Amino acid sequence: MKAVLLSAFGGPDSLEIRDVPTPTPKAGEVLVRVQAAGICHHDILHRAGKLPGAKTGVVLGHETAGEVVAVGEGVITHAVGDPVVIYQRQFCGMCRNCLRGRQDMCRALGLPAVDTVGGYAEYVCVPAPMAIPVPRGLPWEAAALSCCPIGTSLRALRTLAGTSPGDTVLITGASGGLGMHQIQIVRALGARSIAVTSSPSKAGHLRELGADEVIVSPDLKFSAEAWRLTSKQGVDVAVDNLGMTLPETLRAMAQGGTVVVLGNIDGHPVDVLPGLLIGRRIRVMGSGSGTLEDIRQALAMLVAGQIRPIVSAKLPFSEIRRAHELLDTKGVEGRVVMQGWS
């Protein structure tokens, strides 16, 4: 089969298409023919060697949907022809975290494309519990994005922050793959969104997606405007998709507000004032991938039309370098999805 391997840490030219053996499912596993694979900023960081534990010689990609083409011995939950989305990390199913439904916190088996094989390939072989059933008829690109960015964002907004009707939600990095889906989730939850972007050209699209307010801030100094838009009350919930904007995000918060940090784009430390956290009683939480239940909820919202996948470009895997260049140059609004090898 064909697969895209990371030959070395560096730019897009370090991604190489090679012929590798097609995996055979062992007992308890399923073999999936990949129909769509999204490209996440996580992939860009891995390619550049900026992720702890990152390795070369691996297949990247953790936004993978496809069709089951073979099942291993003992698998009774899946059949050939089933559409599935691959959960974005391996989990053991037996540790304390897995038993309480926190597959996202399992430390037994590692992370996709760091310690396991990713989805930039014709086929992926995974343990059957990682292959989440997808409602028939859902487009492949929608299925691929149901785990990350949609399930990840749903976990942050609903499960962790407890976003409720009437809340005001601040979203940084709103024109990225996470932010554009978060705007839709906030709307579905009955809350009001304030989207922050550094690019004036992207403001209109954010409003079309349902953002109630858009702050265009090239220097990412947006807290004063957020304060003004909330009649000097501050925002109830914030999702920080960038990381370096956390100090500004904290200054935009209302009393008793909740901040969920999802991004760490440049990896540098930021200054946080303890007095601000104490004085406003702000909760700050880190979050990552959703759980299996979050993904099931994301799929249901996609089927119901409450969320639509925002795909900036669809490219064949043969153009993987071009796809990564689009992300490197911030030439996308939403996700780039890879489909087909021609």
d(CA 266, CA 243): 8
pLDDT classification of 89: cutoffs 50, 70, 90? confident
Contact residues for 305 (Cβ-Cβ < 8 A; gap 6+): none
Residue 278's alpha-carbon distances to 60, 235, 250, 257, in angstroms, are: 41, 16, 11, 11
Residue with tokens 């689009």: 326
pLDDT at 50: 86
Per-domain residue ranges of the chain: 2-145+309-338, 153-286
The two tokens of residue 314 are 């669809």
pLDDT classification of 146: cutoffs 50, 70, 90? very high
Give the burial class of 148: count Cβ atoms within 10 A of its Cβ; 0-12 exposed, 13-18 middle, 19 or more buried. Answer: buried
pLDDT at 41: 85
For 99-141, what is each residue's pLDDT tens digit? 999 998 888 766 655 666 689 999 999 999 999 999 999 999 9
pLDDT at 268: 85
pLDDT at 304: 95
pLDDT at 151: 94
The CATH class, in words, for 2-145+309-338 is: alpha beta
Is residue 256 classed as helix, strand or coil in its secondary structure?
A: strand
End-to-end CA distance of the chain: 14
Cβ atoms of 237 and 163 closer than 8 Å: yes
Name the average pLDDT for the chain.
93
pTM score over 0.75: yes
Phi then psi for residue 17, to 5 deg, are: -85, 125
- pLDDT of residue 336 exceeding 80, the answer is yes
Classify domain 153-286 at the CATH superfamily level. Medium-chain alcohol dehydrogenases, catalytic domain (3.90.180.10)
How many helices and strands, by DSSP H and E, does the chain display? 11, 15
pLDDT at 222: 97
pLDDT at 117: 63
- pLDDT of residue 314 exceeding 70, the answer is yes
Sign of CA dihedral 302, 308, 313, 314: positive
- pLDDT of residue 275 exceeding 90, the answer is yes
Is residue 260 classed as helix, strand or coil in its secondary structure?
A: strand
Alpha helix positions (H), 81-202: 96-99, 140-144, 152-154, 177-188
- pLDDT of residue 53 exceeding 90, the answer is no
Cβ atoms of 252 and 215 closer than 8 Å: no
Of residues 153 and 333, more confidently modeled: 153
d(CA 271, CA 80): 52
Residue with tokens 């976003």: 163
For 164-218, what is each residue's pLDDT tens digit? 999 999 999 998 889 999 999 999 999 999 999 998 989 999 999 999 999 999 9
